[in-house]
């Protein structure tokens, strides 16, 4: 694979070390296990909204955060980025290759997690299997936006993980629920707009529209890629002495 897509192959190898892979698989399994336990043993009723709290609000940003901040951020911290920067390749290609990997890995984990959660809930008598599929597809797109955003942040600061967590917890978790205007800048709200449309749900009052949601997700993906490219084309490696 190094021959066909060297940066993609390198990034995959770097991100999928044994510990991180198990951790991410465990994280993706959380909603499946929780729904199985709640519906199987607790007789709880699973609603489409539960996909928001378990998948979109909890697991999706965390997986995207881990992959997004490590793809370029780890190379900048460890100094290995020098081997990529001293090659005759366009910085846009570097960022696009890394972006494809983080978006792909996030989607590869979150979509099956949502679909499996729907199937497990369906097996216990809840009619949310199709909602699981809808949330899975929407989360895959939302995951790309999150991962690209976090990757772009990691090109500016070594504290990308903390900043990403603050965005997810404070902005999306608190402010976007309280202040309607902030939803325009919320990847979670945009992801929910797509998921609700695909699931055929009626959006609650104050929710952003599908078109707006799609625009936000596309704008974040394209904007983050452009910002990361701009940053990497000016990235300077200070001398140690």
Partner 1 sequence: MSGRSEATISVDHVSRWYGNVVAVNDISFEVGRGITGLLGPNGAGKTTLLHMIAGLLAPSAGDVRVDGATSWRRPDMYRRVGLVPERETVYPYLSGREFVQLNAHLHHLEDPRAAVERAIDRVELSHDADRRVGTYSKGMRQRIKMAGALVHDPSVLVLDEPFNGMDPRQRLQMFELLRQMADEGRTVLLSSHILEEVERLADSVLVVYAGRLAASGDFRSIRQLMTDRPHVFSVRSSDDRRLGALLLGEDCVFGVELDASGLRVRTSDYGEFTRRIPRVAQGAGIRLVELRPTDDSLESVFAYLVGR
Residues that bind partner 1 (CB under 8 A): 2-3, 6-7, 9-10, 13-14, 17, 78-80, 82-91, 233-234, 236-241
CB-wise, 10 or 54, nearer to partner 1?
10
Burial of 47 (0-12, 13-18, 19+ CB in 10 A): middle
Of 9 and 34, CB closest to partner 1: 9
- For partner 1, give the closer residue by CB, 45 or 90: 90
Q: Which of 3, 179 has the CB closer to partner 1?
A: 3
Minimum CB distance to partner 1, residue 227 (Å): 17
CB of 9 to partner 1, least distance (A): 8
Neighbours of 55 (CB within 10 A): 29
Shortest distance in whole angstroms from residue 239 CB to partner 1 = 3
What is the helix, strand, coil percentage profile of the chain, to 5? 80, 0, 20
Decide: 98 and 80 in contact? Cβ < 8 Å. Answer: no
CB atoms < 10 A from the CB of 211, how many?
10
Question: Smallest gap, in angstroms, from Cβ of residue 20 to partner 1?
Answer: 11
124 membership: H or E segment, kind and range: none
Inter-residue contact 110 to 27 (CB < 8 Å): no
Report the phi/psi class of residue 160: left, alpha or beta, with left for phi > 0 and alpha for psi in -120 to 50: alpha
Decide whether 95 or 144 has the Cβ nearer to partner 1.
95
Supply the minimum distance, in Å, between the C-beta of residue 53 and partner 1: 36
């Amino acid at each position: 694979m190094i021959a066909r897509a060297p940066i993609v192959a390198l990034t995959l190898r770097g991100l999928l070390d044994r510990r991180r892979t198990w951790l991410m698989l465990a994280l993706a399994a959380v909603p499946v296990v929780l729904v199985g336990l709640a519906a199987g043993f607790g007789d709880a009723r699973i609603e489409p909204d539960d996909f928001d709290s378990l998948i979109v609000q909890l697991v999706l940003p965390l997986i995207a955060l881990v992959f997004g901040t490590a793809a370029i951020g780890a190379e900048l911290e460890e100094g290995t980025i020098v081997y990529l920067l001293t090659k005759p390749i366009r910085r846009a290609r570097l960022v696009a290759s890394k972006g494809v990997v983080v978006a792909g890995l996030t989607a590869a984990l979150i979509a099956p997690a949502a679909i499996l959660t729907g199937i497990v809930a369906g097996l216990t008598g809840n009619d949310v299997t199709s909602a699981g599929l809808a949330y899975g597809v929407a989360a895959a797109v939302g995951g790309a936006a999150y991962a690209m955003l976090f990757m772009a942040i990691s090109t500016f600061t070594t504290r990308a993980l903390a900043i990403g967590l603050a965005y997810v917890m404070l902005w999306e978790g608190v402010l976007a629920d309280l202040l309607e205007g902030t939803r325009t800048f919320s990847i979670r709200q945009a992801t929910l707009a797509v998921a609700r449309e695909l699931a055929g749900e009626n959006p609650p009052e104050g929710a952003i529209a599908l078109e707006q949601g799609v625009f936000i997700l596309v704008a974040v993906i394209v904007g983050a890629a452009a910002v990361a490219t701009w940053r990497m084309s000016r990235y300077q490696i200070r001398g140690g002495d």
